[in-house]
Amino acid sequence: MAQSKSLNVNGKAVRIMIDDPDMPLLYALRDNLALHGPCFGCGLAQCGACTVHIDGKAVRSCVTLLSSLSVRQKVVTLEGLGTPERLHPVQRAFIEEQATQCGYCINGVIMESAAFLAKTKKPTEAQVKDALANNLCRCGAHARIVKAVMRAASV
Amino acid sequence: MTIHASRRDVLKGSGALVVSFSFVGVIGETLAQGTKPVALTEVDSFLAIDRSGVVTIYTGKVDVGTGIATALLQIVADELDVPLNATKLVEGDTGLTPDQGKTWGSLSIQVGGMQLRNAAATARAALLEQAANRLGAKTEDLKVVDGVVSAGNKRVSYGELIGGKSFALKLDHAKPTAGKDPKDYKFVGKVVPRVDIPDKVTGRFTYMHDFRVPGMLHGRVIRPSAIGATLESVDETSIKDIPGVVKVVRQGNFLGVVAESEWGAIKAAQKLKASWSKSQTLPEAAKLWDEVRGSEIAKDEVTMNVGDTAEALDRAGAKTIKATYDFAIHTHGSIGPSCAVAQFKDGKLTSWSASQATHDLRKQLAMMFGMNVDSVRCIYIEGSGCYGRNGHEDAAADAALLAKAVGRPVRVQWSRADEHGWDPKGPPTLVDLRASVNGAGAVTAWESEFYIPQQTAGSFLVPLVAATLASMPAADDIAPGNIFQNSAIPYKFANIKTVCRRLASTPFRPSWIRTPGRMQNTYANECFIDELAAGANADPVEFRLKYLDPNDKRGIEVLNRVAALAKWDKRSSPSRNQRGDVATGRGIAYCKYELSRTYIAGVAEVEVKRSTGEIRVTKFYLAHDCGQIINPDGVKNQLDGNVIQTISRTLIEELKYDRSAVTSLDWASYPILRFPQIPELVYDLIDRPNERPWGAGEPAATIVPPAISNAVFDAIGVRLRSVPYTPDKVMAAMKGAA
């Protein structure tokens, strides 16, 4: 049965119509709200491509059920993290380091890194690598990604 | 030059995606085909300049996540003398772009880019001629800056000369128009930031997976439970409670669902009850190599034959050294599973996908649906990173079949299990090698046999899963790609015979995955030459140099330069005096890609933990000569990809399966390298601005598996001959050697 669901996404209250309260957040963001940041990679919380922030924490939106979310929880996607005009420091660092190949994983990598840097101010390279251990990249952009996160950490 | 008036602005509302600095995504009505030339022999096929001077570049080569779009813009902007931000790129659209061949084989710059350079140089020469007339000056007195031609204080812009009109000029790619002197390049050879990255890091980029058309439905496929299984029954009542299901589509053994919403389609595909016949067509995994060796040989291809190896191997006093190498079956493993949208309208099919070969896909879809090729238009939209022929084309066929069945546009998104289970695989490779060494330790003969699947002559159309399952018309090709390459060797032994034993079949539908064949073959060759060096107590670099063609100066240079880069310690392997649980080693490998282009030499430094068998690559050095470099940062980015992805393939990756189907259907059962396992990367890029450019997307991957194998031997004195080098195999190899 179609029902409405209220969410707070990128600082705005939104209402979407859904058939299933247990639909994962990822599909609400992509299909109902037409956002391109979070990507579908596995649906199993194994790759990280779908990562968003919920109240500042990096979570896998592909396994986060809408029924578990309230409108009081703040969902932020890559689009909400920063814009081309007002880049988040992590986004800026990724451009400066050209830390992308295909970029399909980069949504998750940036969201994970931004959440990590918010609580770890002066990380070592090893800490950055560990923080990203559950984000998969197939192209092999890892080395640049680590450099970009270190650069973002230094500003 | 004849300038034809009223050239249609073919981009407007054409449905093509345009890559440019401003990244305009235009989606609209399908362009009536045939209004823009696409022949390789026409300048207008490649270039159009509008009244404001914006240059639209049309290319059949596509950016599969490598950054090639930026490099192609650099080439054309430089050759035409226009600003980079006045260029736009249209890629892989069969209605608009010339067929420049698949985006494969590290040929996008080498072939595709050079065709574009020729078109740009030809266009520029014609524009200058026209400007000379207009300005009453001699062409040699003209200056061009940012698309404006001047003679003294008189000026005319490209937009004024040609804006909106066609060039109507012929091209001969065998005899290209002379271009700029490389010393005058403004963009080529320089680090230019990629045009796509700002959008990708801010969620503004439209991947294939983000693409939508009005009225579109969502489809999912339900694949057979076993390869070769027959669909016996489907219980549609099993999904009657799922809202928005439009149709269950069953055609032969093809099964799919179409729903109003994506989540509805996912749930329907998960819950739909279907029963399949039993099918066991796959070999026992533990006996794979017996199976490969015992396969029917379709033909033997001799790829190199020098002297008389049989006589040399039999010669009295000669010592024979033998080894067998194998390389596992690999999956492509794109992070985003394949995705496509298809629409049938007015008897025509439009297919949007991330196919690396839209022109080939068009032929296949036309065949599948019994349509004229002209009635099918395939449009490329960049997807998740693509490293060969993966599942994109199959998703396109799925979408087309479902769209036809429901009479509305359908988007198909594969699941992770669809991708891991049903993308075509890099076939298993088995290599036997023999060499004879004389009393003085010199190599007198080299023989090798590569057990690799056959390749259908002249056709590289990997069969579409949907066409096969639904018994629709399809070419019955076996298409692993040109995997014979690099079976022949760059070393000058007196007697050499290399043979590819082309197998009639291979367990899984094969295709090309990054560096197909060249990687597996170079792996065997470069490990085996290391075995010969070790047998001769020789330094592995010196040993290679001794047998390389002394006239092949660029090959010798990359080897010497990587040795210098890695501060190579001249000695034989294995290293001595290794104590403790963790042994360290270094290994070298060399390759001249296809024995005709890009040169690479690499050094791996590894740690091997003896108590567990774990290998860690700590540092990787590369010297790389791909001739003229278009974008040094782009090349470096590709080298990162080559090294890191191939370390993953070498140490970890192996397709798992039972007698019926693939069982490694997710990232837990098919793991890949993770961030904490990434080595330090050190490169020496050799730029040769006055040489022709060669590819950089694949060649460096060739030397990664052998450099690691040779480094492990250096560390622990044990030779690894079976990729992947899992801890179990390392432990077994150490036990066997003890």
CA B386 → CA B223, B464, B524, B554, distances in Å? Answer: 22, 17, 25, 30
Chain A contact for B618 (CB, 8 A cutoff): no
Chain A residue with minimal CA distance to B197?
Answer: A95
Helices B68-80 and B632-651: crossing angle, nearest 10°?
A: 160
Query: With contact defined as beta carbons under 8 Å apart, do A69 and A92 qualify?
Result: no
Q: Does residue B17 have a pLDDT over 90? A: no
Query: With contact defined as beta carbons under 8 Å apart, do B634 and B195 qualify?
Result: no
Contact between B385 and A130 using a beta-carbon 8 Å cutoff? no
CATH dotted code for B208-277+332-422: 3.30.365.10
Q: Which residues pair with B501 in a beta bridge?
A: B300, B451
Contact between A36 and B210 using a beta-carbon 8 Å cutoff? yes
CB atoms within 10 A of CB B175: 8
Averaged pLDDT of chain B = 94
Which candidate from B201, B205, B666 shows the least CB-CB separation from A46?
Answer: B666
Chain A contact for B384 (CB, 8 A cutoff): yes
In which residue are the tokens 């896998």 written? Answer: A60
Which of chain B's residues have a Cβ under 8 Å away from the Cβ of A23?
263
Choose from A81, A104, A105, A151 for mutation: most chain B CBs within 10 A: A104
pLDDT band at B579, cuts 50/70/90? Answer: confident
pLDDT tens, residue by residue, B475-517:
889 999 999 999 999 999 999 999 999 999 999 999 999 999 9
Contact between A129 and B681 using a beta-carbon 8 Å cutoff? no
In this structure, what token pair is assigned to residue A36?
Answer: 């391109």
A85 to chain B nearest CA, in Å? 10
Chain A residue with minimal CA distance to B332?
Answer: A138
In the prediction, which pLDDT does A71 show?
Answer: 96
CATH class of A3-81: alpha beta
In this structure, what token pair is assigned to residue A68?
Answer: 């578990």
φ, ψ at B377 (rounded to 5°): -120, 125
In the prediction, which pLDDT does A52 show?
Answer: 98
pLDDT, average across residues A63-71? 97
State the DSSP code for B176.
P
Which of chain A's residues have a Cβ under 8 Å away from the Cβ of B666?
42, 44, 46
Q: Would you state the torsion angle of the CA atoms of residues B307, B310, B316, B318, taken in this order, to the nearest 10 degrees?
A: 80
Beta carbons within 8 Å of B571's beta carbon, 6+ residues apart? B539
Q: Does residue B193 have a pLDDT over 50? A: yes
pLDDT band at B18, cuts 50/70/90? Answer: low
How far apart are the C-alpha atoms of A125 and A120, rounded to whole Å? 12
pLDDT, average across residues B340-344? 98
Q: Does residue B428 have a pLDDT over 50? A: yes
Contact between B637 and A141 using a beta-carbon 8 Å cutoff? yes
Helices B632-651 and A142-153: crossing angle, nearest 10°?
A: 120
Query: With contact defined as beta carbons under 8 Å apart, do B296 and B504 qualify?
Result: yes
B668 exposure class (CB count in 10 Å sphere: 0-12, 13-18, 19+): exposed
Q: What percent of chain B has pLDDT over 90?
A: 92
β-pair type (B495-503, B443-453)? parallel
In this structure, what token pair is assigned to residue B291?
Answer: 């199976």
Q: Which helix (H) or strand (E) holds B380?
A: strand B376-380
Q: Does residue A154 have a pLDDT over 90? A: yes
Query: With contact defined as beta carbons under 8 Å apart, do B485 and B594 qualify?
Result: yes
* Residue boundaries of the structural domains of chain B: 18-200, 208-277+332-422, 517-737
Q: Looking at chain A, which residues constitute the CATH 1.10.150.120 domain(s)?
A: 89-153
Contact between A46 and B667 using a beta-carbon 8 Å cutoff? yes
Chain A contact for B210 (CB, 8 A cutoff): yes
In the prediction, which pLDDT does B578 show?
Answer: 84
CA B450 → CA B66, B87, B548, distances in Å? Answer: 30, 46, 22
How far apart are the C-alpha atoms of B523 and B486, rounded to whole Å? 10
Q: Does residue B15 have a pLDDT over 70? A: no
Domain A89-153 coded CATH 1.10.150.120: yes
Chain A residue with minimal CA distance to B646?
Answer: A140
Which of chain B's residues have a Cβ under 8 Å away from the Cβ of A111?
none
In this structure, what token pair is assigned to residue B345?
Answer: 């309208």
How far apart are the C-alpha atoms of A135 and B230, rounded to whole Å? 38
pLDDT tens, residue by residue, B513-563:
999 999 999 999 999 999 999 999 999 999 999 999 999 999 999 999 999
Of B655, B643, B641, residue with least CA distance to B425: B655
Longest dimension (CA), chain B: 85
In the prediction, which pLDDT does B27 show?
Answer: 30
Beta carbons within 8 Å of A118's beta carbon, 6+ residues apart? A56
Contact between A101 and B644 using a beta-carbon 8 Å cutoff? no
How far apart are the C-alpha atoms of B268 and B248, rounded to whole Å? 9
Q: Does residue B11 have a pLDDT over 90? A: no
Q: Which amino acid does the sequence have at B570?
A: K
pLDDT band at B439, cuts 50/70/90? Answer: confident
CA B345 from chain center: how many Å? 33
B259 to chain A nearest CA, in Å? 12
pLDDT band at B315, cuts 50/70/90? Answer: confident
CATH class of B18-200: alpha beta
CB atoms within 10 A of CB B267: 24
Q: What is the ipTM of this complex?
A: 0.98
pLDDT, average across residues B403-416? 98
Q: Which residues pair with B568 in a beta bridge?
A: none
How far apart are the C-alpha atoms of B107 and B145, rounded to whole Å? 30
Of A126, A137, A131, residue with least CA distance to A115: A131
- Residues comprising chain A, all counted: 155
Query: With contact defined as beta carbons under 8 Å apart, do B186 and B75 qualify?
Result: no
pLDDT band at B441, cuts 50/70/90? Answer: confident
Print the SS3 string covering B412-443. Answer: EECCHHHHHHHCCEECCEEEEEEEEECCCCCE
How far apart are the C-alpha atoms of A101 and B696, rounded to whole Å? 14
φ, ψ at B714 (rounded to 5°): -60, -35
How far apart are the C-alpha atoms of B254 and B6, rounded to whole Å? 48
pLDDT, average across residues B419-441? 96
User: Which of B240 and B8 is assigned the larger pLDDT?
Assistant: B240
In the prediction, which pLDDT does B20 show?
Answer: 43
Note whether B18-200 and B517-737 share their fold: yes
Beta carbons within 8 Å of B449's beta carbon, 6+ residues apart? B431, B432, B433, B499, B500, B501
Of B87, B49, B80, B86, residue with least CA distance to B165: B49
In the prediction, which pLDDT does B317 show?
Answer: 85
In this structure, what token pair is assigned to residue B513?
Answer: 């995955």
pLDDT tens, residue by residue, A33-49:
999 999 999 999 999 99
Q: Looking at chain A, which residues constitute the CATH 3.10.20.30 domain(s)?
A: 3-81
Q: Does residue B420 have a pLDDT over 50? A: yes
Can you tell me whether residue B193 is helix, strand or coil? coil
pLDDT, average across residues B397-408? 98
State the DSSP code for B574.
S
pLDDT, average across residues B39-51? 97
In this structure, what token pair is assigned to residue A143?
Answer: 């080395």
How far apart are the C-alpha atoms of A69 and A5, rounded to whole Å? 9
How far apart are the C-alpha atoms of B102 and B75, rounded to whole Å? 20
In the prediction, which pLDDT does B98 show?
Answer: 97
Contact between B385 and A78 using a beta-carbon 8 Å cutoff? no
Chain A contact for B697 (CB, 8 A cutoff): no
B51 to chain A nearest CA, in Å? 29
How far apart are the C-alpha atoms of B260 and B257, rounded to whole Å? 10
In the prediction, which pLDDT does B131 show?
Answer: 97
Tally the C-alpha atoms within 13 A of residue B649's C-alpha that lie toward its C-beta. 34
Q: Which helix (H) or strand (E) holds B107?
A: none
Contact between B678 and A146 using a beta-carbon 8 Å cutoff? yes
Chain A residue with minimal CA distance to B666?
Answer: A42
B691 to chain A nearest CA, in Å? 27
In the prediction, which pLDDT does B119 show?
Answer: 98
Which of chain B's residues have a Cβ under 8 Å away from the Cβ of A27?
261-263, 266
Name the E strands within B226-296: 231-235, 245-251, 254-259, 273-276
Q: What percent of chain A has pLDDT over 90?
A: 98
Q: What is the CA radius of gyration of chain B?
A: 27
B384 to chain A nearest CA, in Å? 5
Omega into A38 within 30° of 0, i.e. cis?
A: no
Q: Which fold has domain B517-737?
A: Aldehyde Oxidoreductase; domain 4 (3.30.365)
Q: Does residue B12 have a pLDDT over 70? A: no
Q: Does residue B675 have a pLDDT over 60? A: yes
pLDDT tens, residue by residue, B197-212:
999 999 999 999 999 9
Contact between A138 and B335 using a beta-carbon 8 Å cutoff? yes
Contact between A94 and B201 using a beta-carbon 8 Å cutoff? yes
B329 exposure class (CB count in 10 Å sphere: 0-12, 13-18, 19+): buried
Tally the C-alpha atoms within 13 A of residue B638's C-alpha that lie toward its C-beta. 30
Contact between A103 and B264 using a beta-carbon 8 Å cutoff? no
